[in-house]
Structure 1
Amino acid sequence: MAGDRPKRVTIYSIARECGVSASTVSRAFTRPEIVNDDVREKIHAVARRLGYQPNKAARGLATGRAGMIGLLVPDITNPFFPPLVRSIQQAASVADWSVLLVDADEVAAEETELVEQVRSQVDGLIVASPRSTDADLETTLGDIPTVVINRVVPGRPSVVCDNTTALTAAGQHLRELGHRRFALLKGPEASWAARQRSEAIRQWAADAEVDLVESGDFAASYDGGREASRAFLDSDATAAFAFDDLMACGVLAGLVEAGSSVPDDRSLVGCDDVLLARTVTPSLTTVTAPVGALGAAAIDLLREAIGGEPARELRLDGTLTLRASTGTVPVGAVRA
């Protein structure tokens, strides 16, 4: 019966319960930055309890905003990105944004085309680990509010996972296990994160006075890791740093096929701590990235950028996670 239908929750019913005006409730959803924090949180809490669903189409007409943000990733098949996407979606939902996901398939030129396709549909962009040059990014992004993850682009807000301390700890861990000759299996040339990780390992090796053999660049993929395994074997190193966990899994497979055991014959360190790092055999010693914090920070920075606030750079530390892929240097290996 019509009389049994639940009443539709409106901004007026929320306003009555909160003891504020309907216009204040409206601003809490359309211009949250200008509403007192305590009042805004109370309004949102009551709205959630009552099951209020903002009309995004009406809000867009009133504010000129789409209620949607774009999220550009270089390769959604890389297991680092699905958890990052989820963390961004969760943080975006709290800010009442929908997320439009686009995948560049590891092609820098695709990033430019994809941004052009979505820019009119979104209030702002989050670009994760872009492969384009700084100049190309700046030309492409123009005046659209944008936050960059795991890359620093001058003049743009960014949040990066700084793995320097964790990679140094990984090197020291391997050195304490007796390793003195190391392989650095570098990631994609266009990856800012790959360059940062390589530089951190180089600096550690120089300070620790150990041998470091560099190979690559290799694709951030399982097949890239299989290719890197051959360079590892040819280097005579007893331990290696792989650009990321997906590459490290390919390295493990290549070593096994060559009859080399991990960690009995060689040790291996990955980076990012994706699900594969925990489920592969042997499980990977790796650097754990604070993925949830990266997503939440990116949304906070995007809100600031849309509000016209100055660009900020945030650095979140990765942490070393020890597992089964690292062990003592094999008997008979050359020690410096």
Structure 2
Amino acid sequence: MAKVTIYSIAEELGVHASTVSRAFSRPDLVKDDVRQRVLETADRLGFQPNRTARRLATGSTGAVGLLVPDITNPFFPPLVREIQAAAGESTVILVDAQGDADAEASLIARLRAQTDGILLASPLASDEALREAIGSMPTVVLNREVEGIPSVVCDMTSALHDAGDHVRALGHTRVALLSGTIGSWAAEQRRAAIRTWAAGTDVVLTELGPFDASYEGGRAAAEALLNTDTTAAFAFDDLTACGVIAGLADSGQRVPDDRSVIGCDDVLLARAVTPSLSTVSTPNERLAEEAMSAMHAAIAGDRPSNVRLEGEFIPRQSSGQAR
């Protein structure tokens, strides 16, 4: 069987070979219907483009870097999977900062040498450190806003207000806010949302923390919670909320019979824990799609706009009637 080339595909379709080549290397320069015909024909004939040669010719690596702060946090694996799915033909190179903000600059430097662009998911380093490490590299930040860098974020404000209304409708008037890490963009946004909601109600808000965004941080938050008369609590995220539930159980308190607990992010753990966790859901699929769309635009030399998506409150078993 003769080897399938861009010339044989072009001959079958009645187009120039350069058109076939651009359909793979510069799809933005080819009409959608023509590119679709090229791809369908290439797939039917079993054509495999020589990506190595193409990358040498264009200077493109065909890879996108993805930096996450802590891969052991259950929020990130589903997001990584969605980004990989949204990346299409691009290879995604994942690096984990292991919770070390100071390590992020050197990890970014490694990614700059191997990729066409970098996605920073909830980075921990300061804005200044990130801008310095990135330089002119096409970059998109997820779940955080950094001045001067395109971002895709999930705004939890409306959903957290819905969660607050849900708690108030259940009769809770003494509510705790278990604050996340100081300096965390997400923690600041969520803290502000709960404060704004409480200010517009008759709820007495007690702020505790900050607590580490971890299971152990949640257990520490539970200990602090026991020293208050609050009947409901907002945790920074689902992992922290699970630690809160466990810590309360160790002290003989049951959720939601004695206290209600609200999480944030809707990771798998939120549905697996008993009782299942009332929480705010993050649209990971859309987040990944918007991030990759912005990434491709940045690589092409465009200036993508910042994107703000919205979360959704999901009531489950961890929130109940005030006693």
Q: Distance in 2 between matches of 1:43 and 1:292?
A: 28
- Determine helix, strand or coil for the equivalent of 1:121: coil
The Cα shift of 1:62 comes to: 1.1
Q: SS of 1:178's equivalent?
A: coil
Tell whether 2:188 aligns with 1:172.
Answer: no
Q: State the distance in 1 between where 2:86 and 2:9 align.
A: 23
Q: Distance in 2 between matches of 1:282 and 1:161?
A: 26
The SS at the match of 2:226 is helix
Indicate the residue corresponding to 1:83 in structure 2.
78
Q: Which of 287, 298, 313 is 2:291 aligned to?
A: 298
Residues 1:257 and 1:46: Cα distance change in structure 2 (over 3 Å): farther
- Superposed CA RMSD: 1.4
Distance 1:42 1:234 in 2: 67
Read off the aligned partner of 1:105 and give its amino acid letter: Q
> Which residue matches 1:259?
252
The amino acid across from 2:133 in the alignment is T
1:161 and 2:154 are equivalent in the alignment = yes
Name the amino acid aligned to 1:74: P
Distance apart, 1:187 and its partner CA: 1.4
- 2:33 pairs, out of 19, 38, 51, with 38
Equivalent residue number for residue 12 of structure 1: 7
Structure 2 contact 10–16 (Cα < 8 Å) conserved: yes
Alignment of 1:196-275 (within 5 A): 196-275=189-268
Q: Among 304, 325, 329, which residue is 2:322 paired with?
A: 329
Match for residue 21 of structure 2?
26
Identity of aligned residues (%): 57
Deviation readout 1:96-117 (Å, 9 max, x if unpaired): 1001000011111111010111
The answer to whether structure 1 residue 276 and structure 2 residue 269 are counterparts is: yes
Supply the AA of the counterpart residue of 2:283. P
CA distance in 1, matches of 2:254, 2:12: 66
Q: Is 1:73 the equivalent of 2:68?
A: yes
2:135 pairs with 1:142: yes
Q: Structure 2 unaligned runs (5+)?
A: none
CA distance in 2, matches of 1:159, 1:252: 31
> Pick from 105, 108, 113: which aligns with 2:106?
113
For residue 177 of structure 2, the aligned residue among 184, 191, 208 is 184
Cα 1:17–1:319 change in 2 (3 A) is farther
Instruction: Answer yes or no: is the 8 Å Cα contact 1:150–1:158 preserved in 2.
Output: yes
C-alpha distance in 2 between matches for 1:154 and 1:48: 43
**Native 8 Å contact 1:156 1:311 kept in 2:** no
Letter of the 1:81 partner, please give it.
F
C-alpha distance after superposition, 1:34-67 (max 9, x if no partner): 2222222332333344443332211111110001
Q: Distance in 2 between matches of 1:17 and 1:199?
A: 61
Kindly report which structure 2 residues correspond to 1:93-108, keeping only aligned pairs within 5 A, or say none. 94=88, 96-108=89-101
The answer to whether the Cα contact below 8 Å between 1:132 and 1:190 also exists between their aligned partners in 2 is no
Note closer, same or farther for the CA distance 1:58–1:329 as it changes in structure 2 (3 Å cut).
Answer: same
Give the whole-Å Cα distance in 1 for the aligned partners of 2:245 and 2:196.
Answer: 25
User: Which amino acid is the alignment partner of residue 67 of structure 1?
Assistant: G
Instruction: Tell whether the 8 Å contact from 2:64 to 2:116 is kept in structure 1 after alignment.
Output: yes
Q: CA deviation at 1:232?
A: 1.8
Structure 1, unmatched stretches of 5+, are 1-5, 331-336
2:310: which partner in 1?
317
Shift of the 56–321 alpha-carbon distance from structure 1 to 2, 3 Å rule, reads same
Contact 2:111 2:118 in 1 (8 A): no
Task: Give me the TM-score of the superposition, normalised by structure 1.
Answer: 0.93
Structure 2 counterpart of 1:11, one-letter code: I
2:232 maps to a residue whose letter is A
The SS at the match of 2:308 is strand
Counterpart Cα distance in 1 of 2:13 and 2:186: 47
Query: What is the DSSP-based 3-state SS (H/G/I as helix, E as strand, rest coil) of the residue aligned with 2:145?
Result: coil
Q: What TM-score, normalized to structure 2?
A: 0.96
Residue correspondences, number: 323
CA spacing shift, 1:13–1:320, aligned 2, 3 Å: farther
Distance 1:84 1:47 in 2: 31
Q: Deviations over 1:68-90 (max 9, x none)?
A: 11000001011111110011111
User: Which moves more between the two structures, 150-159 or 291-300?
Assistant: 150-159
Matched-pair contact (CA < 8 Å) for 1:129–1:148: yes
Distance apart, 1:7 and its partner CA? 4.9
C-alpha change, 1:46 and 1:286, in structure 2 (3 Å) is: farther
